[in-house]
Amino acid sequence: MINRYQNLIGRTPRVLVVGDLMIDHYLWGSAERVSPEAPVVVVDVSRESSTLGGAGNVVSNLLALGAKVEVASVIGEDENGEIIASMLAHQGVGRASLIRQPGRTTSRKSRVMASHHQVMRFDRESKEAIDAASEERLEKAITSLLERVDMILLSDYGKGVLTPTLTQRVIALARARGIKVLVDPKGSDYSKYRGATLVTPNRKEAQMATGITINSEASLAEAIRWLYREVELEYAMITLSEDGMALYDGTKLTKIPTVAREVYDVTGAGDTVLAALGFALACGAPIIEAAHFANSAAAVVVGKLGSATATIDEVLAYENSSVGTVESRILNRDELAKKLENERAKGRKIVFTNGCFDILHAGHVRYLEQAKALGDILVVALNSDASVRALKGESRPVIPEGDRAYLVAALSAVDYVTIFDEETPYELIKLLQPDLLVKGGDYEPEKIVGYDIVTARGGEVKVMPFVEGRSTTSIIQRICAR
């Protein structure tokens, strides 16, 4: 994609994460028999691993994206607390704002994994609110960090660190300094997040908070507007699992479709969304671009096992491969119109060209590569067999439309292919509304079919010369002469 997320590459925004730190502990093995003692599988453990979880997973995601991270939290005076402090130090994150509270149990979630499936989980943790002394010390630590951060992320896992008083105090302090505060919320009472920049509940969490069952476009709009209004947000977001996410900015509701193709483990996907949003916004990205970036980052991590992270390179690679298989690039006009609506919502420039593309040759390939270089998404409208016969006579096409479509769709420059029966693609252009119309030959732009449609909405029409000596007709003539 041309310049996709270019403003995020190589940036190191300073982000403060406040919330519930925990350890994600994994026991990995295989399950090949049932216990003779009870109707449960026996997992033969071959290895175990531990990573930062909860707010710690947000930290890890930010570090993977390239941010400089500060973390503030309360942990226990126990072995797990020491492990967390050591993990943070190993990643280059300071421990000065980690408050130790006597008698508190640091959270640790242990998951038993057998053949890439989670068999069970058991937790050790304290869930009660941190005490007054810890709260006061934590607030002082956060205040001391505000002068050197660009963004604050509140990762609330409901384990007692983000008390209502502390949360409201942090939001107030940040707003006074013009610092954005993004929240991954917990529970049903969102009053403690009032005045934040953005909250990111999933569908279930949003239903709990609003009391609205989200089962339609109308109920989604009602719930997200409730969040925006009642929590006094700058933006409201609801993540919708396989349906992507929804964003509301006070005037417009935008649906961002999912881009995940394989889902192995949803552990930590919400952490990735929060981290990616915070990273992109801290880099100065517009909210809609930040949301698309977070959506793609989440798609990367759910394709991995365990609490995972995504780098910018992985997000870019994922988006660049999101078109999928050759067959999935060949769409009917209605399917294509929906696809392009989503691409346009991501700010992508749509390039349209059309032709017969009978006996694909180097001239075709070079022409399509040049057309793709003019934008982000290249759509090729292919004349059907009947349409080719009407234009070129009964002896054409040599290659049937299905094969022609497959060959064109297999080219790296081409994003989508559709077949049209009409003599011209005028109605198709009217439906798809491309940003740029490209035609090969020596036409005058004003005489190209679709010129009036594209230019009426501020688009462009370009004429590109064919590669000299390369044409299907000349190939056929050479074959016949032999």
Cα distances from 264 to residues 110, 270, 302, 308, in angstroms, run: 18, 15, 6, 11
User: What tokens were used for 353?
Assistant: 């060209």
CB-based contact 71:55 (threshold 8 Å) = yes
- Asked if the peptide bond before residue 397 counts as cis, ω within 30 degrees of 0, the response is yes
Whether 271 is catalytic: yes
In this structure, what DSSP letter does residue 348 have? P
Q: Helices in 146-259 by DSSP H: which ranges?
A: 164-176, 203-210, 217-230
Question: What distance in Å separates the CA atoms of residue 222 and residue 129, rounded to the nearest whole number?
Answer: 32
Residue with tokens 């038993």: 112
Catalytic residue among 271, 358, 385, 435: 271
Task: Give all strands (DSSP E) within 20-175, no chain letters.
Answer: 21-34, 41-54, 68-76, 98-101, 107-114, 117-124, 151-155
Angle at 263 between CA 259 and CA 268, to 5 degrees: 90
Cα distances from 149 to residues 12, 16, 145, 156, 279, in angstroms, run: 11, 6, 7, 19, 12
The secondary structure element, H or E, covering residue 401 is helix 401-409
Strand pairing report for 107-114 and 117-124: antiparallel
Question: What distance in Å separates the CA atoms of residue 466 and residue 366, rounded to the nearest whole number?
Answer: 9
Cα distances from 436 to residues 289, 302, 326, 338, 451, in angstroms, run: 22, 35, 23, 18, 10
Question: What distance in Å separates the CA atoms of residue 464 and residue 160, rounded to the nearest whole number?
Answer: 64
Q: Is 469 helix (H, G, I), strand (E, B) or coil?
A: coil
3-state helix, strand, coil in the chain (%, to 5): 40, 25, 35
In this structure, what DSSP letter does residue 266 have? -
Looking at the annotation, which residues are catalytic? Answer: 271
